[in-house]
A and B are shown apart, each in its own frame.
Chain A
Amino acid sequence: MRNCLVIDLDRCTGCDTCVVACKHENGVDLGVYWNHVVTMGPYGTYPDIEMYWLPTQCQQCANAPCISVCPTGASQRDPDTGAVVVDKEACIGCQTCISACPYGARTYLEDENIVVKCTLCNQLTRNGEDPACVHDCCTGARLWGDLDDENSDVAKYVAAAEEREAGSTHRLPDPGDAQPSTVYILSSKTAEWRDPE
């Protein structure tokens, strides 16, 4: 099981609805974001310019380094949904996981002395619902499902994208061996994929 997000950047308009939906569903504190929409570009010179939006959040890594470095086991994988979550009771706020995460997906809450992150709306997905960012995305750019299941919608969507244009599916850079799960689809007609720097 590899439940994760598939984000079609050809469809994403950078409207930030996913950001708002996430904060609303999870009661995310002021100034804290569990997901971000990064503006990539514009690149090139007029009239040959291109840009796209890159939503980033926890990449639900298959070999999540945040889990292996956690000294208390607070960072763990939910056995039912496969999502990487943080047990707030067990978290001691040491922030080792923040050091280990290559994607800056975790936030330290000083008042509570804990670390929080996107859980893929574990409270919803456990009951068979979609994460809030997927449910509320107004362009249908976000999908959620089991990438390991060939018959799942996300697996079919990714396969179809690759069939339309080989090399149009991407993942964020993996400086270690985290194996990020989130798949981004960006075809060459929209823009050339660039790693965030």
Chain B
Amino acid sequence: MTTLPLLVSTLLTCCGLGALFFVGLSEVQGYGSESRTPALAAALCLLVAALVLQGVGLGRATALFSMLRGLSHLSGASLALCSLLAGVVTAAAYLVMRSRDASRGALRVVAALSMLVGVLGAWLVGNQYVIANRTEWNTWLVPACYAVNALAMGATLLGSAMALRREPAGELRRVAVPAAALAAVQLVTLVAYAGFVGWGAVSPAWYWAGAVAVGCLASLGAEVASLRAPWAMPVALLCTVAGGLCFRVAMRMLSSDFITAVHVVSSGVHGYGM
């Protein structure tokens, strides 16, 4: 297993689940009707890609089935995988229903389900890192950061679809405002998490420059700009995704424990070349 595929997998999962949430929300609130199907298709593609990356990361696809068989253990990793699968199934069902012109009532039900799967799933993806002995990760701020980042990515993804399909500015505003609010909330959660682990502990480049400056501030700026210039919304999406990736790398870099360093010393001093 390598870290990178699983790290990217969580990014794609969160982006897909966030998009699922906002497509559902737009269905319930009645905006972005032209962009829902492409955004939903993008969400499904992202979730399937995340599933494939998980299989690649774990070395073999059958590992996914082993995790599902072990669901009774209620481990964080199994629940995160279930969230991903639930997202795939919900997005696929939603897409089929939209393509077959299902009744408005049925669409609203599946939209509500999508919102639930989206927000709960994003939380569970982050929650798998909450491990008692990993003091840097052992806080509810980690799943909160994942969930907020997922929703921010989802909002900007739907907003980008709306901008590209040239939906009316009034409609785009209905997703740009929550996207900007989410960028602000994300900024708060990231600062709070940095405060939790220690200001100096986080990587300046990945965390402060990447996750905070690009992922929150630049994204917020682009979302505000999109109120007048819709083309700024895809820029906001890129910034939010880049910020999400930087946050994951920075969070990973925080993970080290004392005994690993001891092992290195031990091997050097006492290694018999065994």
Binding site for B on A (CB under 8 A): 14, 16, 19-20, 23, 28, 30-31, 33, 36-39, 56, 65, 68-74, 90, 92-96, 99-105, 108, 113, 172-173, 175-178, 195-197
Rounded to whole angstroms, the CA-CA distance of A141 and B166 in the bound complex is 76
Residues of A within 8 A of B261 (CB): 197
Partner of B258, one of A23, A93, A105, A196: A196
* Closest chain A CB from B119 CB (angstroms): 22
Map CB proximity to A onto B1-37 as digits: 1 under 8 Å, 0 otherwise.
1000000000000000000000000000000000000
Decide: B131 and A176 in contact? CB cutoff 8 A.
Answer: yes
Rounded to whole angstroms, the CA-CA distance of A93 and B69 in the bound complex is 15
B99 at the interface (CB under 8 A from A): no
Q: Could you name 23 residue pairs across A and B whose Cβ atoms are closer than 8 Å?
A: A16-B272, A28-B274, A39-B265, A68-B73, A70-B75, A71-B78, A72-B69, A73-B72, A92-B58, A92-B59, A92-B67, A93-B58, A94-B58, A94-B67, A95-B1, A96-B77, A102-B259, A104-B260, A104-B262, A113-B60, A175-B132, A178-B132, A197-B258
Decide: A101 and B133 in contact? CB cutoff 8 A.
Answer: yes
* Closest chain B CB from A46 CB (angstroms): 20
Decide: B255 and A30 in contact? CB cutoff 8 A.
Answer: no
A115 and chain B: residue at smallest CB distance: B1
* Closest chain A CB from B50 CB (angstroms): 15
Decide: A93 and B133 in contact? CB cutoff 8 A.
Answer: no
* Closest chain B CB from A62 CB (angstroms): 13
B130 and chain A: residue at smallest CB distance: A69
Residues of B within 8 A of A94 (CB): 1, 58, 63, 67, 77
Rounded to whole angstroms, the CA-CA distance of A178 and B259 in the bound complex is 15
* Closest chain B CB from A195 CB (angstroms): 8
Decide: B1 and A108 in contact? CB cutoff 8 A.
Answer: yes
Instruction: Tell which of B69, B128, B131, B134 has the most Cβ of chain A within 10 Å.
Output: B131
Residues of A within 8 A of B75 (CB): 68-71, 96
* Closest chain A CB from B178 CB (angstroms): 34
Decide: B259 and A69 in contact? CB cutoff 8 A.
Answer: no
- The number of chain B residues touching the other chain, given as a range, is 35 or more
Decide: B270 and A69 in contact? CB cutoff 8 A.
Answer: no
Decide: B133 and A102 in contact? CB cutoff 8 A.
Answer: yes
Residues of B within 8 A of A37 (CB): 266, 270
* Closest chain A CB from B255 CB (angstroms): 7
Partner of B135, one of A36, A99, A176: A176
Residues of B within 8 A of A14 (CB): 270
* Closest chain A CB from B70 CB (angstroms): 4
Given contacts A90-B70, A175-B135, 18 further A-B contacts (CB under 8 A): A19-B274, A20-B274, A30-B274, A31-B274, A36-B262, A36-B270, A38-B265, A69-B75, A70-B70, A70-B75, A93-B59, A96-B75, A99-B134, A104-B260, A108-B1, A113-B1, A178-B132, A196-B259
* Closest chain B CB from A171 CB (angstroms): 13
B78 and chain A: residue at smallest CB distance: A71
Residues of A within 8 A of B72 (CB): 73
Given A23-B274, A56-B259; A71-B134 close (CB under 8 Å): no
B103 at the interface (CB under 8 A from A): no
* Closest chain B CB from A11 CB (angstroms): 18
